[in-house]
Amino acid sequence: MILRLRERRLELPPGRPLLMGIVNASPDSFSDPGERALGDLVELARSRARDGAELIDVGGESGRTDREPVPVEEEIARVAPLTERLAAEGLAVSVDTWRAPVAHAALAAGAVMINDVSGLSDPGVADACAEAGAALVLTHTRVPPKQKGFPDYDDVVADVAALLRDRAGEARAHGVDDEQLVLAPGIALAKPPAESVEVIRRLPELAALGRPLLLAVSRKDFVGALTERPPAARLAGTLAAVGAAADGGAAILRVHDVAEAADFLRVQAALRERDGAVPHLAEELRREPA
C-alpha cells in the first residue's frame, strides 16, 4: 500500500507498522502536561526520530473536553514555527488539527500530513490537503471536537467502517487522492474502554476499507481501565495494545514511547519469522556498565 506525503510516496509493507511520535505543543495534555519552549520541543521531536519514529505528530491543542478550544491564532502560533523547524531538518511532520486555517498554516510551514481527529468536521481541511498533496488522516467520531459524549452504537465496528467510508468519500469530493488517505478508528474518541477494546479486537474487519489504518493507543483510557494506572504509568499496557494493533493490520502506530514501541515491534517481528536472521549480541551489551 502506498501513502503519498506531498512529493514523497511511502510504501507501507503489511505487518510492519510505522511509528508516529507524539510531540505535544499544548501545555494541558492529559499524558504529558507542561509548558515547553520551542527549542525543547524541537529536541523532543529529534529524539523521537532517533528512537525510530518515521512521522512526528505535532499537536497545538489538547483533546481534553474540560477545556475550551484555543483561539485559531494561538494554535497556529504553537504548531507553525515548530513544524517549520522540523521540516527544515528533513523530518516528516504531521499536524494534529481539525481546523482549516491551522491546516493551511501547518502545510505552508512544511507539514506532510494533517491528522484530523474530528471526522472532517471542517471540509476545508480536505481542501488544504488536496492543494498541498499532503496526507489526510480521517478519524471516526460521532461527537463534535472538544465535546464529551458516548453515542449508543448498535455495532461500534460497523459504525466506524460506515463513517470512515463516508468521510473518505467526502475527502475525495474535495480533491484528496486515495493515496493521500489514512483512516483511524478513533480509539477512545466517543467510545468507553469496552468499545475501544472491541475495535482493536476486530481491527481486521476494517482492512476492507482499503487504506492504511492509524491506531492511537498510547496511554489511552482503555489501558488505564485495564491496568488501573494513570497515563504516565501505562507503558506496559500500551505495548500490549501496540502488539494487538500490529497483529490486526495497523499501518501506523501513534505513540509517546517510541524507543520502547520500536523495540517491541522489532522483537515481535523476529519471533514471527521462522527463517529470519537474528544478529549476535554485542559484547558491551552483555552486562550492565560497572
pLDDT per residue as tens digits for the range 105-119: 999 999 999 999 999
The mean per-residue pLDDT over the stretch 94-110 comes to: 98
Phi, psi of 95 (to 5 degrees): -120, 125
**What one-letter code names the amino acid at 64?**
R
Q: pLDDT tens across 239-283, in order?
A: 999 999 999 999 999 999 999 999 999 999 999 887 778 888 888
Is the pLDDT assigned to residue 237 strictly greater than 70? yes
C-alpha cell at 106: 501547518
Task: Give me Rg for the CA atoms of the chain.
Answer: 18
Residue tagged 522540523 (cell numbers):
86
Question: Do 22 and 55 meet the contact criterion of CB atoms below 8 Å apart?
Answer: no
Residues taking part in catalysis: 220, 254
Q: Which amino acid, one-letter code, is at 67? A: R
The span from the CA of 71 to the CA of 80, in Å, is 14
Kindly report the length of the chain: 290
Mean pLDDT value across the chain: 93
DSSP letters along 98-159, please? S-HHHHHHHHHTT-SEEEETTSSSSTHHHHHHHHHT-EEEEE--SS-TT-------SSHHHH
**Cα distance between residue 87 and residue 110, in whole Å:** 6
Q: What integer is the mean pLDDT of 213-221? A: 97
Of 185, 191, 159, 189, nearest to 244 by C-alpha is: 185
Q: Please give the average per-residue pLDDT across 142-171, as a whole number.
A: 94
pLDDT tens per residue, range 194-205: 999 999 999 999
Which DSSP symbol is given to 15? Answer: T
Give the mean pLDDT of 228-235: 95
Could you tell me which of 77, 186, 96, 76 has the C-alpha nearest to residue 136? 96
Please give the pLDDT value at position 289: 73
Q: What is the DSSP letter of 90?
A: T
Cβ atoms of 255 and 242 closer than 8 Å: yes
What angle do the packed helices 100-108 and 124-132 form, to 10 degrees? 20
Residues pairing with 138 in the sheet: 116, 183
Q: Which stretches within the chain are classed as H helix?
A: 38-51, 72-88, 100-108, 124-132, 156-173, 193-201, 221-227, 235-248, 258-272
Q: Are 20 and 220 in contact (CB under 8 A)?
A: no
Q: Compute the average pLDDT of residues 168-195.
A: 97
Looking at residue 278, its pLDDT comes to 85
